[in-house]
Amino acid sequence: MAEHAAVVGIGQTKYDAKRLDVSQPGLVREAAIRALEDAGLEWKDIDAVVIGKAPDMFEGVMMPELFLAEALGGVGKPMLRVHTAGSVGGSTAIVAASLVQAGIHERVLTVSYEKQSESNAMWALSIKMPFAVAMVAGAGGFFAPLIRGYMQRSGAPEDTGIRVALKDRQNALKNQYAHLQMPDISFDMIANSPMLWDPIRYLETCPSSDGACAMVIADAKHTKASGRPAAWIHATNMKTEPTLFAGRDQVMPQAGLDCSAELYKKAGIQNPRAEIDCAEIYVPFSWFEPMWMENLHFAPINEGWKMTYEGATAIDGDMPVNMSGGVLSSNAIGASGMIRFAEAAMQVRGQAGEHQIEGAKKALGHAYGGGSQYFSMWIVGDQPL
Amino acid sequence: MSEEQEPVTRIITPVKVDYEYTPGVTSERFLLGLKQGKLLGAACDECGRVYIPPRGACPRCAVPTSKIRELAHKGTIITLTIVRVPSDNIDVELPYCAASILLDGADISMTGLIQECPFEEVRIGMRVEAVWKPEAEWDPAHR
């Protein structure tokens, strides 16, 4: 059996369209310092650093982990960089956790970031491939057809996505770090926003954000000695599948179904909807909430939309989802997965402030990336498993 | 020289990299097929599923797709989107309808533009047919 590991410190930057006041090193350091302060630790207490971000093409900085080593106190320590596309923030946290669970290190700092103001993700995701006509316009161009496929097979009401966007944008008002703060948000405002990649409307889409998220993950000895609230890592899991293969269900990827089923088994969870108190999941386009509710076994296939529709995923529902406002409200791409994992940890540590779910004891963090092909997830609890 | 200059905090430095691509044996056969007005897929040696364009191997079975299959120019729309957002790398005029099309006899969909009917008439499950440019414009390298 692996060693127990727990999140003992969390730091986030304010997410914003342009953090012109900091460089990339300054951005990651801001989150890292906050995580260390939250953990009551200093740089010298950290054994290793694990960093993640989305493709290098975004900012055009090749191997950014090299030039960020000093800013993250990585000099003279093991430093790893993780990359699994949009799910990278989650898989980075899992790599950091595994170093502690394996007994290799006692306290690991993990950080994920993106500085979209220094990049052009739409361009980087629509690279003209040789011998083919370029037609897939960025992430929205790739995911819009999958959403339409889901709408067709589930028969979900057409305003399901608008309802998700309204909920997440309202939740963001309770999160001081959220990028988009829209106090006057309304159903009609979302419904009337321009169609970008039909059926995805502008206000059903995530923003482009600058930001970083950091966590300190410690072994049981240090966690108990710290005397601070901890998010004990009950289980982690990752699964991958190719972007394209004959018979692939891109709407409901098998890798995601398998990943979550295995995760629950590892965490001793039999009925996820009943046993998990809240979840932070990767929803960059509104419709992915109902789709992932099914992929995560919270709802039967083709019925995920009912959870949104009935208010189950609202902050006062029976299965709150994205209390922080989610990716729809802050999308520093490389950080987005880690923010989900960190927000889940914040809930069981009771430190989520205005968007805290009262008495949350068990929470799910989820991220996906690529063409719905990389999945990373964890379950954290207020007590060790 | 002005004494009160703003400090430089950001510069834009465009990077350009030119690649020379080689399509490889499998893609070359597909591209040469296009040049002759044919849609050439390839079937997996193990499961028999037909890939188009073929990539040389079946990701499910991890074996070569060595059996060439000439496919019909007709198929069914699996799903679609109407793109209204510009992108630096895309030359297609906005808005446009991009559809995933499963050609008859294929087991994986291809993306194609639907340009011969109004967007509001395009539906999942709709039957479609390839419309080829004039032969003089056939350039399978898409330069």
Joined tokens for residue A332: 């520093």
pLDDT tens readout for residues A249-291? 999 999 999 999 999 999 999 999 999 999 999 999 999 999 9
Tell me the pLDDT tens digit for each residue of A181-224: 999 999 999 999 999 999 999 999 999 999 999 999 999 999 99
Predicted TM-score (pTM) of the model is: 0.95
pLDDT band of residue B3 (cuts 50, 70, 90) is low
Mean pLDDT of chain A: 96
Percent of chain A with pLDDT over 90: 90
Query: Over 60: is that where the pLDDT of A36 sits?
Result: yes
Asked if omega into A194 is within 30° of 0 (cis), the reply is: no
- A78-106 pLDDT tens trace: 999 999 999 999 999 999 999 999 999 99
What number of residues does chain A have? Answer: 385
Give the CA distances from residue B87 to residues A122, A125, A136, in Å, rounded to whole numbers and listed in that order. 7, 10, 9
Rounded percentage of chain B residues whose pLDDT exceeds 70? 96
Look up the ipTM and state it: 0.89
The chain-wide mean pLDDT, for chain B, equals 90
Distance CA A283, CA A290 (A): 9
| pLDDT for residue B66 is more than 60 | yes
Q: Which residues of A touch B50 (CB under 8 A)?
A: 246
Of all residues in chain B, the one with the smallest CA distance to A149 is B79
pLDDT at B143 over 70: no
* Measured distance CA(A226)–CA(A246) in Å, rounded: 51
Helix (H, G, I), strand (E, B) or coil at A347: helix
Report the sign of the C-alpha dihedral through residues B87, B93, B96, B101, in that order.
Answer: negative
Distance from the Cα of A194 to chain B's closest Cα (Å) equals 9
Q: Report the C-alpha gap between B27 and A264 in whole angstroms.
A: 42
Q: Measured between alpha carbons, how far is A92 from A213 in angstroms, rounded to an integer?
A: 11
Q: Write the single-letter amino acid at A363.
A: A
Q: From CA A229, how far away is CA A208, in angstroms rounded?
A: 32
Which pLDDT score is estimated for B19?
82
Count of CB atoms situated within 10 Å of the CB of A330: 28
Among A61, A148, A250, the residue to mutate for chain B (most B Cβ within 10 A): A148
